[in-house]
Amino acid sequence: EMDSATPLIADEFKGRDEFKGRDEMGLSKSPELQTEAEARAKYWSMLSVLVFLQAPVLGWLLYLAFRFIPGQAANLDKKFAFIVKYDLGWVFVSLLIVLLMKSYQTINSNGARAAARVDRPDQHIYKIMSPNKPFVDAPYILMAT
């Protein structure tokens, strides 16, 4: 039994038009529809700036800032000496490779999603498959959110 003070999630969405901005099949009818290539290019440039520009700059700034905190320069030197002594640079290279693979998966999924007109949070679309009426022309089914 639910506490009467806990609002139901459904109450938050009462009166909201779930079909606003959707076509007769339930898909997004956004005027800024992108092709897969356009969406991939957008996400490629966005993630490239993040991975190859913003993250390294932030890392260097944090490193340099910590060098000026009393006692931290010696700690940082010890940690880097440990990494060099035990040849652990490959661990950081492997983390970068995993990050790059994850970024490329994001580019692929978001590129395909844009061309399919399936926005977040739906991300999945189903079609009723039936040769018989009335389901033969049924609209797509979107994941309930």
Structure tokens at 102: 């994850």
Mean of pLDDT over the chain: 82
pLDDT of residue 13 exceeding 80, the answer is no
Counting beta carbons within 10 angstroms of the beta carbon of residue 24, is it exposed (0 to 12), middle (13 to 18) or buried (19 or more)? exposed
74 pLDDT band, cuts 50/70/90, is: very high
Model pLDDT for residues 89-114, shown as the tens digit of each residue: 999 999 999 999 999 999 998 888 88
Question: Which has more confidence, 111 or 141?
Answer: 111
Sign of CA pseudo-dihedral 55, 56, 59, 64: negative
Q: Which of 111, 98, 100 is nearest to 47 (CA)?
A: 100
Q: Please provide the DSSP assignment of 65-115 as one string.
A: HHHTSTTHHHHHHHHHHHHHHTT-HHHHHHHHHHHHHHHHHHHHHHHHHHH
Residue 42 clears pLDDT 60, i.e. is over it: yes
**pLDDT value for 63:** 95
> Would you say residue 52 has pLDDT above 90?
yes
CA distance 40 to 34: 9
What's the whole-number mean pLDDT along residues 65-81?
94
